[in-house]
Amino acid sequence: MCLLFMYLNDDECGNGYRLIIANNRDEQWDRPTKPLSFWTDNEDCISGQDMTPGKENGTWLGVSKKGRIGILLNILGVNDPKKKGRGYLVNEYISSQKDGHEYINETIKPCSSNYNSFNLILMNLSFPKTNGICCSNLDGVLTESDILNGVFTCDNSSPGRPWQKSVQNRERFGNIVKDFNHKEKKDQLVQELLNLLTDRKTYNNDQQLVSQAAMSNMEEDIILERSAAFVWTPKLRYGTRTHSIVLVDREGNCDFIEKTMATPVNPDNVKWETSSFKFKFSNCTTPHL
């Protein structure tokens, strides 16, 4: 499970950020994971990586120095353990030379039913106008929509049926961007985004979440915990274990910040580790002023 807030403005011509990403990764605390780092086999790509046997090196959010960003959010429902790992979709995209539509048509479309349901965000900032796409394969049916300038949110819901934690926090995220989208306010921006990502307010009237959770016989208390931006389910050793923030200015300078739970996780004394990387996209074209 994951939660994504994103702001895109290809027309940014001042000291603000062209792209702002705030993302939560919800996962089993004991699932082996490699913290944020550049890949050993491709130094152009950076991400945290799943180290589960059979799914090694897959990721939920990855960035390439060539301007590609991929974000994976699994759709809550019944999963078939025999299907392919979805984390490789991000890896393949950010390490490829394809734009989003090419990648979807040539790589995903021929085998979309081989994966459990997902929402996949593909961004290419190497053009003056960002090529941004949200692709989903719910029930094996592939759909895609363009991502335009402005605020974009996504979670683990069916396409077009967002959970309340996305709906209710969309305006809050927009206000954070409005108040702090300036490079001189970067520290404040990051802190406000973290405050959003760590909010434990629950929504007990989320019918879309309830209907999806029913397919996997999820208990009521677990459903309520899943309704918060910050998921905390210690009895299952599950919850929000990684916060990711990506900031890209109009010159292609990128800040990638990850705050993740130190393992092994002790729910009575959770410790967090922060990693931060700065780099420049090698072929990012400055948007027209």
Is residue 12 assigned to a domain? Answer: yes
| pLDDT value of position 13 | 84
Give dist(CA 283, CA 69) in Å, integer.
Answer: 14
Is residue 164 assigned to a domain? Answer: yes
What phi and psi, each to the nearest 5 degrees, are found at residue 176?
-60, -45
**Measuring CA to CA, which residue among 76, 78, 138, 81 is closest to residue 112?**
138
Is residue 288 assigned to a domain? Answer: no
- pLDDT higher than threshold 80 for residue 1: no
| pLDDT value of position 60 | 98
| pLDDT value of position 5 | 99
| 79 vs 147: which has the higher pLDDT | 147
| pLDDT value of position 285 | 58
CA distances to 5, 76, 207, 211, 230 from 214, rounded to whole Å, are 26, 10, 10, 5, 21
Rg (CA), the chain: 18
CA distances to 51, 103, 274 from 83, rounded to whole Å, are 17, 20, 33
Is residue 34 assigned to a domain? Answer: yes
Looking at the structure of the chain, the number of domains it has is 1
Give yes or no for a contact between 171 and 225, defined as CB atoms under 8 angstroms apart.
no
| pLDDT value of position 23 | 99
| pLDDT value of position 286 | 57
| pLDDT value of position 139 | 82
Is residue 286 assigned to a domain? Answer: no
The CATH number assigned to the domain holding 105 equals 3.60.60.10
Is residue 289 assigned to a domain? Answer: no
- pLDDT higher than threshold 60 for residue 287: no
- pLDDT higher than threshold 70 for residue 35: yes
- pLDDT higher than threshold 70 for residue 240: yes
| pLDDT value of position 175 | 99
| pLDDT value of position 95 | 97
Token digits of residue 167: 């709906």
Is residue 153 assigned to a domain? Answer: yes
156-160 contact pairs (CB < 8 A, 24+): 156/1, 156/2, 156/3, 156/73, 156/74, 156/75, 156/76, 156/119, 156/212, 157/75, 157/76, 157/208, 157/209, 157/212, 158/75, 158/208, 158/212, 159/119, 159/134
Is residue 52 assigned to a domain? Answer: yes
Q: Give me the mean pLDDT over the 229-253 stretch.
A: 98
pLDDT digits (tens, 9 = 90+) for 137-180: 998 889 999 999 999 999 999 889 999 999 999 999 999 999 99
Written as one letter, the residue type at 86 is R
Per-residue confidence band for 283, with pLDDT thresholds at 50, 70 and 90: confident
Range of the domain at 104: 2-280
| pLDDT value of position 140 | 81
Q: Which residues of 243-266 are buried (b: 16+ CB within 10 A; e: fewer)?
A: bbbbbbbbebbbbbbbbbbeeebe
Give dist(CA 249, CA 97) in Å, integer.
Answer: 22
Per-residue confidence band for 92, with pLDDT thresholds at 50, 70 and 90: very high
Query: pTM of the prediction?
Result: 0.96
Q: Give me the mean pLDDT over the 59-82 stretch.
A: 96
pLDDT digits (tens, 9 = 90+) for 63-72: 999 999 999 9
Q: Give me the mean pLDDT over the 111-119 stretch.
A: 94
- pLDDT higher than threshold 70 for residue 224: yes
